[in-house]
């Protein structure tokens, strides 16, 4: 096998490993929540012994169990066939963050997590969305800050009005 093909295979296995870890964790969280929605839920008018058959969590439970199994196998194979020496250290994380593109991705992911887990539900949806939109566009240097502020406020107000008022959809 030529050296370039071997390095490409190793690189693909590293990417497989990273994606496997992320999807495996999401599948586990989905499995746990689906289990709760399947077996620890009382439905009106349904016998408790047969409630799991019509529970809203049965399909996500089966789907997440399948994903857990498949990504466990991919995790094992990618770890076994990949070369991971030196890739999971503090020095590797620092070199990863030295790349401006990777740093921007980390900033954008952090802003999204702050929006979802920190702002939504605690602050009005329109205000939380405006803060997130402005921050994400400002971090990406999309335009000057006054224009970004105007876009974020107008778009958030429009979405809040259309979905919350006109369509009567409850917003978080």
Q: Among 43, 59, 88, identify where a domain stops.
A: 88
> Under a CB-based contact definition with an 8 Å cutoff, are residues 76 and 17 in contact?
no
Residue 123 pairs in a beta bridge with: 120
Helices marked H in 40-124 — which ranges? Answer: 51-54, 58-81, 90-98, 100-113
Q: Classify residue 172: in a domain, yes or no.
A: no
Q: Classify residue 159: in a domain, yes or no.
A: yes
At residue 144's C-alpha, the angle toward residues 138 and 149, to 5°, is 65
Helix (H, G, I), strand (E, B) or coil at 168: coil
- For the entire predicted model, the pTM comes to 0.54
The per-residue pLDDT for range 51-80, each reduced to its tens digit, is: 666 677 788 888 999 999 999 998 888 877
Q: Classify residue 118: in a domain, yes or no.
A: yes
pLDDT in tens, the chain (172 residues): 455 666 676 767 777 788 888 889 999 999 998 888 777 777 677 677 666 666 777 888 889 999 999 999 988 888 777 766 666 667 766 776 777 887 888 888 899 889 988 998 899 999 999 999 999 999 999 899 999 999 999 999 999 999 888 988 887 7
Same domain, 100 and 71: no
Q: Among 88, 121, 154, identify where a domain stops.
A: 88
Q: Classify residue 171: in a domain, yes or no.
A: no
What residue numbers bound the domain in which 134 lies?
Answer: 94-166
Number of structural domains (the chain) is: 2
Helix (H, G, I), strand (E, B) or coil at 123: strand
Same domain, 79 and 141: no
Burial 79-101 (b: 16+ CB within 10 A, else e): eeebeeeeeeeeeeeeeeeeeee
Same domain, 82 and 114: no
The per-residue pLDDT for range 118-127, each reduced to its tens digit, is: 998 899 999 9
Q: Classify residue 139: in a domain, yes or no.
A: yes
Q: Using CA atoms, how far apart are residues 46 and 93, in angstroms rounded to an integer?
A: 52
Q: Using CA atoms, how far apart are residues 169 and 58, in angstroms rounded to an integer?
A: 26
Same domain, 73 and 104: no
Same domain, 69 and 126: no
Residue showing tokens 């994606």: 19
Same domain, 50 and 109: no
Q: Using CA atoms, how far apart are residues 78 and 2, in angstroms rounded to an integer?
A: 20
Same domain, 11 and 70: yes
Q: Classify residue 77: in a domain, yes or no.
A: yes
Same domain, 105 and 124: yes
């Amino acid at each position: 096998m030529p050296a370039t093909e071997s390095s490409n295979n190793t690189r693909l296995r590293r990417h497989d490993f990273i994606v496997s870890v992320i999807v495996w964790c999401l599948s586990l969280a989905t499995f746990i929540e689906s289990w709760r929605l399947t077996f620890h839920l009382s439905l009106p008018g349904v016998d408790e012994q047969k409630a799991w058959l019509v529970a809203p969590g049965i399909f996500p439970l089966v789907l997440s169990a399948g994903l857990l199994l498949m990504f466990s196998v991919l995790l094992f194979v990618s770890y076994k066939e990949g070369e991971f020496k030196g890739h999971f250290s503090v020095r590797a994380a620092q070199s990863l963050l030295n790349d401006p593109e990777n740093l921007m991705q980390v900033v954008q992911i952090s802003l999204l997590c702050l929006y979802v887990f920190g702002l939504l539900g605690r602050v009005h949806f329109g205000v939380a969305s405006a803060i997130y939109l402005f921050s994400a566009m400002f971090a990406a240097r999309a335009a000057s800050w006054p224009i970004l502020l105007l876009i974020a406020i107008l778009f958030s107000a429009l979405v809040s009005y259309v979905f919350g008022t006109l369509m009567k959809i409850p917003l978080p």
